[in-house]
């Protein structure tokens, strides 16, 4: 059994996988699949090495995303199976947390370049993982022009971290984020009048930014903060 055979099995079984099912499809024993998985010790660098040969390493967009692999029928809990908030279900569910950095290069090719499986035993937050992962891909040679992410990661600490790494960023942000369009007059983003072309303003404890507002078909309002290193 090889990694290529196992990858082919995963690609052909997008709705779920198991050692038993893999053994049936690949015509090997359950124990053989289990031993194969236990002998592997892959990390983000292995993923990056496979992906970067297909990508232009500079000038693209690095996107942060996390997801929960549902494990509703797992008995008991392990360090990897725990209760996490799921954006898909809009509630807390039992599953495995996967944090991914996806890179889209200047030709439009998108591939994951780093990952973490959330392990509560390590005592790290998702923000800790995010910053570690960005540092790693920069060390490995990736040179993104922009970093994007959702409002869950829109913290002052993450924004300062990206600025210190000399990275531009565009993140979703909650309506209670404080901005100042007039010196000494902070206000929540949700109360500001934001034109279609965006509002140049100051984000509390950070720097000068531009904020945007969108309204979807269900009339839900969302806000975004954009920072560029050369923005005055």
The rounded distance, in Å, linking the Cα atoms of 212 and 99 is: 26
Strands 199-203 and 61-70: unpaired
| Four-CA torsion 187, 190, 194, 197, nearest 10 degrees | 120
* pLDDT at residue 77 is higher than 60: no
Instruction: Tell me what pLDDT residue 38 has.
Output: 80
Which pLDDT band, with edges at 50, 70 and 90, does 70 fall under? low
Query: What radius of gyration, in Å, describes the C-alpha atoms of the chain?
Result: 21
Evaluate whether 69 touches 77 at the Cβ level (below 8 Å): no
Q: Where are the domains of the chain?
A: 1-41, 43-147, 150-232
Backbone dihedral angles phi then psi of residue 94, each to the nearest 5 degrees: -90, 130
pLDDT in tens, 212-229: 999 988 889 999 999 998
Residue 231 has pLDDT above 60, yes or no: yes
Mean pLDDT (the chain, rounded): 87
User: Which pLDDT value is given to residue 93?
Assistant: 63
Question: Residue 75: what pLDDT?
Answer: 64
> What DSSP element (H or E) covers 187?
strand 187-188
Name which residue leads in pLDDT, 93 or 21.
21
Q: Where are the beta strands (DSSP E) in 50-125?
A: 61-70, 81-86, 91-104, 110-117
Give me the mean pLDDT over the 130-150 stretch.
97
Q: How confident is the model at residue 84 (pLDDT cuts 50, 70, 90)?
A: low
Q: Across residues 64-76, what is the average pLDDT?
A: 72
pLDDT at 76: 58
pLDDT at 17 over 80: no
């Amino acid at each position: 059994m090889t990694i290529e055979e196992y990858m082919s099995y995963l690609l052909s079984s997008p709705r779920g996988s198991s050692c038993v099912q893999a053994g049936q499809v690949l015509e090997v024993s359950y124990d053989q699949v289990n031993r194969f998985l236990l002998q592997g010790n892959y990390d983000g660098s292995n993923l990056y090495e496979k992906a970067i040969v297909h990508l232009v390493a500079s000038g693209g967009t690095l996107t942060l995303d996390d997801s929960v692999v549902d494990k509703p029928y797992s008995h008991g809990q392990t360090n990897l199976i725990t209760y996490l908030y799921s954006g898909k279900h809009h509630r807390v569910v039992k599953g495995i947390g996967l944090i991914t950095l996806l890179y889209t290069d200047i030709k439009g090719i998108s591939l994951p370049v780093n990952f973490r499986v959330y392990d509560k035993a390590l005592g790290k937050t998702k923000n800790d993982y995010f910053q570690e992962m960005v540092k790693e891909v920069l060390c490995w040679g990736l040179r993104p022009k922009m970093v994007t992410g959702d409002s869950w990661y829109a913290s002052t600490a993450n924004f300062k971290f990206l600025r210190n790494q000399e990275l531009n960023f565009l993140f979703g942000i909650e309506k209670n984020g404080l901005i100042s369009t007039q010196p000494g007059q902070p206000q929540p983003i949700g109360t500001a009048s934001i034109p279609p072309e965006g509002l140049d303003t100051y984000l509390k404890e950070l720097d000068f930014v531009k904020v945007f507002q969108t309204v979807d078909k269900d009339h839900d309002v969302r806000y975004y903060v954009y920072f560029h290193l050369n923005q005055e």
